[in-house]
A and B are shown apart, each in its own frame.
Chain A
Amino acid sequence: MTENVIEVDGLRKSFGDFEAVKGVEFTIQKGEIFGFLGPNGAGKTTTINMLCTMMKPTAGTGRICCHDIQSEKSTVRECIGIIFQENTLDEKLTAEENLMLHCKFYRVPKSERNGRIEEVLRMVDLYEKRKDVVERYSGGMKRRLEIARGLLHYPKVLFLDEPTVGLDPQTRTHIWDYILELKNREGITIFLTTHYMDEAEYSDRIAIMDHGKIIALDTPDNLKKMIGGDVIEVITEDNGKAIEEISQRYGNDVKAKGDSLAFSVKNGSEFLTGFVKQMIVPIKNISVHRPTLNDVFLNLTGREIRDEITNGTKKPKFGHRRF
């Protein structure tokens, strides 16, 4: 039997005239990892804020573990754990003090406190630094501590709002190993937003949000099937002209993806041979691959999942340094 842990219906949020969330609905089952993807400003954090009782919805309802997010706030709060997108540690306190306070707020049994604190600190590799004031941590260490804290009280539902931003790949893998283990052991349900494709792949189902609406909701595999066939990625001498040429000749919907162009075709390798011969605009580079979540995302929103990350790395690459 499946059990709905999160039920959302017609949830809306307006800030003045601006409607950030325009009526979303979905249900999430126990033990599921639910990925919530969308470009910057899509309304992901706003949705999370409403679900975790930090923001009053303008309209609609939400239930977590069968408790209403508006009328049963404190029961909902007991069921959930959240790792906010921004830093919410007390930097003047040590790691250990931060975690101990969390145990007290969440009424973790006294006898379990020290054990759990050690467990989560070891998971994020901060046990040796537990007596250091958080102020002296690096950005990545702070993030790791924040994640450790969110897991401390074994929440039934865990909200992760871009949990691993700024962490190195090794740490991310390490943290995900722990999250997945905890999920299996404790049956935690996870609500995840991320801009990392590989992280999104952990999801059992994915909702893609844009401009306050959910525009697709399915398993990662089904979402990829939506693309149909294979994805061709091509870099040409003149991408502007190439878009025109491709859409005129093949009637394909071409999307710009960084420096290259991407579009989907039924059978990639077959298509390729003819395509290379026919193109008038000179081709610099071409590849064909099975659809990824990034392609799905690009297709639906016109932007890449990793939008902000590529933008972030572009700056130092192309920016001129002044001395």
Chain B
Amino acid sequence: MEAIFAVWQRDIIKFFRDRARLFGSFAMPLMFLLIFGVGMNGALSSMFSTSGMDQFTGFNYVSFIFPGIIAMTVFSTSIFSALSVVTDREEGYMKEILVSPVSRTYVAIGKIFGSATVAVIQGLLMLAFVPLIGVEVELMNIIKLIPAMLLVAFTLSSIGLLVASTLKTATGFQAVIQVLIFPMLFLSGAFFPLNGMPGWMNALVKVNPMTYAVDMFKHIMLDVGSMNEVLKQAMGLNLKLLGHSVSTLEEITFIACIGALFVMLATVFFNRSG
């Protein structure tokens, strides 16, 4: 059991030692916040004000996108962390682990824990943007956010490990993850409200686990209760599956089930790849 901790600890030490990665992790979210947040905010509010729809006065694109940015960070960090499994294999360290008596299942679990922890830390670091972009986040919501991030991170870390266990090279891994991650991000409601989409795209959105993660994050971070129906609709806070409004509890259950499935699959495949 201590081995799980050892594998986890190694990832954490290396995360904090790698300053470039730490600072680099702010680059993408910052870019999205600046380009989408500032750019779209202006465009959207001018659109709404000229059309004279006063129900939209509460609409703030930056606060709409911010939970999505956090989700994106947790999401991509956890899935990309599995890259370390591939580089460990390439650089030889994986041999040191695999020739030891540590069970491969423990190694896999340690890796998933490690990636998930790093992803949650990265997600929390994104809160550093809060004072800069003028959104309000209550402490209570941050506390609620942590388990939610952990849940999402676990699921995505195992998807990452699954991919890493089946691919031999770092470049191959990166290519596959990239192809996986971008549609999942853009069809999740993180960047634009998922309204009025064609049926096929709507179907993709609904099978995308990221959709439920983003929705969960939004419900935690935004004051949904005080919004009027039109505003909720505009911000895409009315996720429906087959005509039924999805509750946060259902989202949690859904993500947890997917997570459990992928933890199992990743462990099995990691075991085999050794």
Give residues in A with beta carbon < 8 Å to B.
52-54, 74, 77-78, 80, 82, 84, 86-93, 97, 101-102, 104-107, 133, 149
Sorting the interface of chain B by its residue count into under 10, 10 to 19, 20 to 34 or 35 or more gives 20 to 34
* Closest beta carbon of chain A to B1's beta carbon, Å: 10
Instruction: With CB as the reference atom, state the residue of chain B lying closest to A105.
Output: B100
B14 within 8 A of A: yes
List the A side residues contacting B9 at CB < 8 Å: 101
Query: Measured between alpha carbons, how far is A54 from B97 in the docked complex, in Å?
Result: 11
B10-A93 in contact (CB<8A): yes
Query: Measured between alpha carbons, how far is A88 from B88 in the docked complex, in Å?
Result: 9
Provide the B1-26 mask, 1 if CB < 8 A to any CB of A, else 0.
01101100110011001100000000
B99-A82 in contact (CB<8A): yes
A54-B93 in contact (CB<8A): no
A105-B92 in contact (CB<8A): no
Question: Which 5 A-B residue pairings sit nearest by Cβ, starting from the closest?
Answer: A104-B6, A105-B100, A88-B92, A77-B101, A78-B101
List the B side residues contacting A105 at CB < 8 Å: 3, 6, 96-97, 100-102
Q: Which of A53, A89, A105 has the most CB of B within 10 A?
A: A105
List the B side residues contacting A104 at CB < 8 Å: 2-3, 5-6
* Closest beta carbon of chain B to A237's beta carbon, Å: 49
- Given A92-B14, A92-B17, is A101 in contact with B99 using a C-beta cutoff of 8 Å? no
Query: Measured between alpha carbons, how far is A107 from B100 in the docked complex, in Å?
Result: 10
List the A side residues contacting B91 at CB < 8 Å: 87, 91
**Can you spell out 19 A-B residue pairs with CB atoms less than 8 angstroms apart?**
A52-B99, A54-B98, A74-B101, A77-B101, A78-B101, A82-B99, A84-B95, A86-B92, A87-B91, A87-B92, A88-B92, A90-B10, A101-B9, A101-B10, A102-B96, A104-B2, A104-B6, A105-B3, A149-B96
* Closest beta carbon of chain B to A261's beta carbon, Å: 41
Query: Measured between alpha carbons, how far is A69 from B103 in the docked complex, in Å?
Result: 16
List the B side residues contacting A149 at CB < 8 Å: 96
B95-A88 in contact (CB<8A): yes
- Given A93-B14, A101-B10, is A107 in contact with B2 using a C-beta cutoff of 8 Å? yes
Instruction: With CB as the reference atom, state the residue of chain B lying closest to A75.
Output: B101
B18-A77 in contact (CB<8A): no
* Closest beta carbon of chain B to A70's beta carbon, Å: 14
Query: Measured between alpha carbons, how far is A107 from B14 in the docked complex, in Å?
Result: 22
List the A side residues contacting B3 at CB < 8 Å: 104-105
Query: Measured between alpha carbons, how far is A165 from B95 in the docked complex, in Å?
Result: 19
Within the complex, which residue of B2, B6, B18, B99 is in contact with A54, where a contact is CB–CB below 8 Å?
Answer: B99
B97-A92 in contact (CB<8A): no
A106-B101 in contact (CB<8A): yes
List the A side residues contacting B102 at CB < 8 Å: 105
Query: Measured between alpha carbons, how far is A38 from B18 in the docked complex, in Å?
Result: 42
Query: Measured between alpha carbons, how far is A97 from B16 in the docked complex, in Å?
Result: 14
Within 8 A of A (CB), among B91-115: 91-93, 95-103
B99-A77 in contact (CB<8A): yes
Within the complex, which residue of A74, A88, A101, A102 is in contact with B103, where a contact is CB–CB below 8 Å?
Answer: A74
Query: Measured between alpha carbons, how far is A106 from B102 in the docked complex, in Å?
Result: 7
B13-A93 in contact (CB<8A): yes
A53-B93 in contact (CB<8A): no
B95-A101 in contact (CB<8A): no
List the B side residues contacting A88 at CB < 8 Å: 92-93, 95-96
